[in-house]
Amino acid sequence: MSLLTDTVHAWRSADGMHHLAWDLADADVRVDVEVLTTADRADLTRHAGGVHRACASIAGLCPLTRHRFRVSDDRGTVVDVAARGMGLEGADNFRDFGGYPTQSGGAVGWGHLYRSGNLSALSPTDIDYVARLDIDLVCDFRREDEQRRDPSRLPSSDRQPRLLSLPITPGSQASALYGDATSLDGRDAMFAFMVDINREFVRAQSDRFGQMFAAILEQRPRGLILHCAAGKDRTGFAAALILSALGVSRERVLHDYLLTRHYFDPWREIPRVRAKYPVDHLDDDALLPMLGVDEAYLGAAYAAIAEDYGSMDAYLEQCLGVGDAERRALAGLYLES
């Protein structure tokens, strides 16, 4: 196989350009990119025919349409993908977390499951774009004071999505940021702090994630957004749970989790963090672990699940109320038939 199917990545940037990137096992292979959206097929040859490299950029597609692409090589590999990143002007890390294959041979559908950072600064264009995604439920994991200070901006229509508040404050670690931050005395301490936060998602915040599943199973939304402030930690664990419940492998769940590195610029967030938390004693480098994602972070949550419940399946069923019947219901909503 010359075109690696798991690494084909498409996204839209805020300027309306669409971009695709992929990994090649053979640098000499010819790759063609086809725009599958019906209204754009006339632009196919001009935009994307005959690519001999591992990336392509496509201009001129309708900015308010969700686009799908077919990437194929001259060895017979064909991969269909949707634009994962939405490229919103006022929301970092807004992306589709569908499209992943399951361990049973199915696939999570595109266009149903989204994850994002703060939604309080959506532009009018962003709101028009989100309105076209047909969102039914928005789960907000920010603390209550974050929600009051920066309320989410959502499409206003007859089909306005339900906004569900599921505030999460890291349990025993909260004082390290929201009170006395002097214990965080450098980069290593901040890294350890982030590992502890992810462990506490399992041991102190499982009720919130159980409420998320209960709301999904009750409302059965075809369009769902999960979000917090940056869309990486609280949201990242929530997305990992949903993908796991749908049968996506841990390897691919981790791949989705680490995509925050593509969609979120930690350096740009440093002024916001300094205004929000008492961290004047820390230099910028020491703050970076707080603003990024790392395999060890999500790994700490998985380790806590293994230690306390034995497996992800047991944690989902015993702690979150997601057993076989609930997983079948989720599969009916979000897996492609």
Quote the tokens at residue 187.
């980069």
First CA to last CA distance, the chain: 26
> Confidence class of residue 50 from pLDDT cuts 50, 70 and 90?
low
Tokens 């309080």 belong to residue: 120
Chain centre distance of CA 324: 25
Residue the block writes with tokens 């929530």: 238
84 compared with 184, residue with greater pLDDT: 84
Decide if 86 contacts 215 (C-beta within 8 A): no
What confidence tier does 55 reach under pLDDT thresholds 50, 70, 90?
confident
Q: What is the pLDDT of residues 113-136, one digit of tens each?
A: 999 999 999 999 999 999 999 999
Element (H, E) at 7: none
The string of DSSP letters for 139-175 reads: EE-S-HHHHHHSPPP---STTPPEEEE-----TTTTH
Q: What pLDDT is stored for residue 153 in this prediction?
A: 93
Q: Is the pLDDT of residue 171 over 60?
A: no
pLDDT of residue 38: 56
Task: Name the amino acid, one letter, at 279.
Answer: V
Beta partners for residue 164, in sequence order: 139
pTM (global) more than 0.85:
yes
| % of residues, the chain, pLDDT over 90 | 67
Q: 40 pLDDT band (50/70/90 cuts)?
A: very low
**Nearest CA among 225, 223, 234, 241 for reference residue 167:** 234
Determine the pLDDT at residue 206: 96
Which candidate, 128, 124, 175, 113, places its Cα nearest to that of 336? 113
Answer yes or no: is pLDDT of 48 > 50.
no
Residue 275: strand, helix, or coil:
helix
Minimum mean pLDDT among 73-77, 135-139, 246-250: which range? Answer: 73-77
Q: Considering only CA atoms, give the Rg of the chain.
A: 20
Give CA–CA dist 322/297, Å, rounded.
23
Enumerate domains of the chain plus CATH numbers: 5-82 (2.60.40), 95-334 (3.90.190.10)
Cα distances from 68 to residues 11, 83, 105, 113, in angstroms, run 10, 6, 21, 16
Q: Tokens in use for 157?
A: 């229509």
- Among the residues of the chain, which ranges form H helices? 44-48, 124-131, 144-149, 175-178, 187-204, 206-219, 234-245, 250-258, 260-263, 266-276, 284-291, 295-309, 312-318, 324-334
Instruction: Provide the greatest CA pair distance for the chain.
Output: 60
